[in-house]
Amino acid sequence: MKLLVVGAAGQLGSTFAATPGHDVVGLTRADVDVTDRDALLAAVERIQPDVLVNCTAYNNVDGAEDDASTALAVNSMAVRSMAAAAARTGATFVHYSTDFVFDGEASSPYLEGDRARPVSVYGCSKLLGEWFARDAPRWYVLRVESLFGGRHARSSVDKIAAALRDGRSTPVFRDRIVTPSYVGDVRDATLALLARDTPSGVFHCVNSGHGTWADVGRHIAGLLGADPALLMLTSVNDVRLKAKRPVYCALDNHKLAEAVGWPLPTWQDAVSRYVTTL
């Protein structure tokens, strides 16, 4: 299976670009600007992949409030071009989306069919991207959240682990509920979905279970033998950010588990595997 990964320098993209056992072509922004439709179509037609994997994104959630046009260009219109490129070449299209397409007002993990109601420009731009992705003949929209792992070590898990390791206090939300997800597990689940010839659809591609960031912090403190008192519990309401954030972000991944034939590892297992490599 020949994979073309765009956004190959990012957190998830760099993980895909290093996939063993597959023919992977990784393109970074320096190779192709995905907002340049003609350049993107030409690159996909030249490479003729079996699968086009979109790991690009404009991920600056607060920045998108002031720069909606860049957010829409990368997260929406470029996805439309990719779906067109997949249609022209017969490639399967894999596109990643986000828990931020929901409003965060749920009290149990979101299902794929729950009504999307983004509360930020970033969330709107990602939802529009989801809709455009469906123009490809065979497509998967995989919603991920709170990613960690990959090349950059700049995720919330990395920041909490670094502070605890150094004996510094670090703020953690006691009320924001998430499913932190390991990029290696996201990649493996994606490849399993592709290998099974699963019908096109939206899937929640996250590790299993959910918890507050305080739960995640306590788990990391336990792994590192650090003092959990270094975790400063804060509320989402205490922090003023430009973009509104959903508070309840847990995603239910049972549809994906059924499709790939195995349950995804829990977030605790994933965080343990990652933190012990740091």
Ligand X SMILES: NC(=O)c1ccc[n+]([C@@H]2O[C@H](COP(=O)([O-])OP(=O)(O)OC[C@H]3O[C@@H](n4cnc5c(N)ncnc54)[C@H](OP(=O)(O)O)[C@@H]3O)[C@@H](O)[C@H]2O)c1
Binding residues vs ligand X (CB under 6 A)? 7, 9-13, 29, 33-35, 55-59, 74, 96, 98, 144-147
The catalytic position among 96, 122, 182, 248 is 122
- Start-to-end CA distance of the chain, whole Å, equals 31
Tally of CB atoms within 10 A around 60? 14
Nearer to ligand X, 10 or 184 (CB): 10
CB nearer ligand X, residue 98 or residue 170:
98
For the bound state, the minimum distance from the C-beta of residue 225 to ligand X, rounded and expressed in Å, comes to 27
The dihedral region occupied by 232, where left means phi > 0, alpha psi between -120 and 50, and beta the remainder, is beta
Q: Note if 122 is an active site residue.
A: yes
45 vs 227, beta carbon nearer ligand X:
45
Q: In the complex, what is the shortest distance from the CB of residue 181 to ligand X, in angstroms, rounded to a whole number?
A: 8
Closest distance to ligand X from the beta carbon of 80 (Å): 14
| Euclidean distance between CA atoms 77 and 73, whole angstroms | 5
Beta carbon nearer to ligand X, 145 or 158: 145
- With CB atoms as reference, the residue minimizing the distance to ligand X is 10
Query: Is there a contact between 225 and 167 (Cβ–Cβ < 8 Å)?
Result: no
Q: How far is the CB of 276 from ligand X (least distance, A)?
A: 21
Query: Which residues are marked as active site?
Result: 122
